Amino acid sequence: MSAMLDVQNLVKLFPLAGGKVVQAVNGVSFTINRGETLSLVGESGSGKTTVGRCILGLIDATEGDVYFDGEQMGRGRNIRSKALRGRIQLVFQEPAESLDPRIRIGETLGEPLRYLGMNRADRDRRVRDTATHLGLPERALDRYPSELSAGLQQRAGIGRAIITRPELIVLDEPTSALDPTARAEIVDLLIRLQAEFGTAYLLITHDLSTVRFVSHRVAVLYLGSIVEEAPSETLFAKPLHPYSVGLLASVLLPDPELTRSSAIQLEGEIPSPIDLPPGCPLAGRCPFADARCKTEQPPPVMVAPQHFVSCFHHAKVAALDHTTDNFARFQEDSTRLLSVGAG
Ligand SMILES: Nc1ncnc2c1ncn2[C@@H]1O[C@H](COP(=O)(O)OP(=O)(O)OP(=O)(O)O)[C@@H](O)[C@H]1O
Ligand SMILES: [Mg+2]
């Protein structure tokens, strides 16, 4: 069976004045199956949002193809097109972007259904039913967005997306603006909604604690290239790309002493994606980089089922014993985070 979403060799360039070019996305490919969550993670500026916007057809890709349910996206076929209306939805980082401050929450929730031509009575029923699924108190439906906490606002934002029973929701940093308690509640909500409705998610985020709990698979994006893709468990337990290890270590080991002794240190900052040199995107920051890395882009290699890594030196990374501690510590932190949410 073919994947529900199939992204093939997506490239997005933004030409700048003076002939320079921002290489925001450089040949990204992945698939998402029905009911599955793929997380796209990476530092700020790695191209996550641009990938999301190209997939939704909100901007045109420079190269590459995107298929949803076997049909090609783009050229008028996007989330706003009649053919796909309600089948793909979007959730933003700021709930304010999906909630109109002058419209009551209940009305906002029903709006996508009105687009679909659903009558008032059915809409009202679906809104109340969705509010129950969201854990939104019924009285919240009569409130304006500003009268709700950030966490409840984001619940409503997710509600507005799920209410049409879409097959795919693209979530762009849905938890980044929230405090840890609200974040844990949203994570829990996303998992429950997926179990209930079988919705697939493309989760775009740099918040790895959310990723760990929500995703089936994770793709790590660096300077517009996917450097590693693996089942979630595998990526957190045994990352094989130096960048994945560095990214996890920076989140998992805030203690500088520990970081120095046990994890890969990435030098410097993520460079700007303007006129990138050839070779591996990490070559300038990687402790393993040699002459070949600076001239040749490493192709993705399948190291295990569903586990792909684009690094000439992944065997050296595999030989390092640095990840077990990270993982245990990460699990501990995340468990604490989630128990706060449940309480
Ligand atoms: N319209 C545009 N014109 C020029 N450059 C752009 C444009 N949109 C994005 N970029 C650049 O493309 C790169 C990728 O941006 P993008 O917003 O996709 O990153 P991101 O991974 O979503 O980052 P963040 O975590 O900060 O949201 C960045 O260097 C950004 O400055
Ligand atoms: Mg972004």
Q: pLDDT tens digits for the chain (343 residues)?
A: 689 999 999 999 999 999 999 999 999 999 999 999 999 999 889 999 999 999 999 999 999 999 999 999 987 888 889 889 999 999 988 888 889 999 999 999 999 999 999 999 999 999 999 999 999 998 999 999 999 999 999 999 999 999 999 999 999 999 988 898 999 999 999 999 999 999 999 999 988 878 988 999 999 999 999 999 999 999 988 899 999 988 887 765 444 444 444 557 677 777 888 988 889 999 988 889 999 999 999 999 999 999 999 999 999 888 876 545 554 554 454 444 444 433 3
Q: How many domains does the chain have?
A: 1
Domain contains 177: yes
Q: Which protein residue's CA is at the shortest distance from atom 4 of ligand 1?
A: 14
Q: Which protein residue's CA is at the shortest distance from atom 16 of ligand 1?
A: 47
Instruction: State the pLDDT at residue 116.
Output: 93
Locate the ligand 1 atom nearest the alpha carbon of residue 206 and give its number: 25
Whether the CB-CB separation of 46 and 204 falls below 8 Å is answered with no
**How far from chain centre, in Å, is Cα 71?**
22
Tokens of 56: 């939704």
Domain contains 159: no
How many whole angstroms from 205 Cα to the centroid of ligand 1? 13
Structural domain including 217 reads 1-87+164-343
Whether the CB-CB separation of 93 and 174 falls below 8 Å is answered with yes
pTM of the model: 0.90
Domain contains 130: no
Q: What is the CATH number of the domain that holds 231?
A: 3.40.50.300
Domain contains 132: no
Tokens of 256: 């500088």
Task: Indicate if ligand 1 lies below 6 Å from the C-beta of 22.
Answer: yes
Tokens of 110: 């029903």
Instruction: State the pLDDT at residue 10.
Output: 98
**DSSP string over 163-231:** TT--SEEEEESTTTTS-HHHHHHHHHHHHHHHHHH--EEEEEES-HHHHHHH-SEEEEEETTEEEEEEE
Domain contains 139: no
Q: State the Cα–Cα distance between residues 155 and 237, nearest whole angstrom.
A: 31
Could you tell me the CA-to-CA distances from 202 to 125, 156, 194, 289 in Å, in that order? Answer: 28, 19, 12, 31
Pocket test for ligand 1, best of 13, 14, 28 (most atoms within 8 A of CB): 14
E strands, 211-338, are 217-222, 225-231, 301-304, 307-309
Task: Indicate if ligand 1 lies below 6 Å from the C-beta of 45.
Answer: yes
Domain contains 61: yes
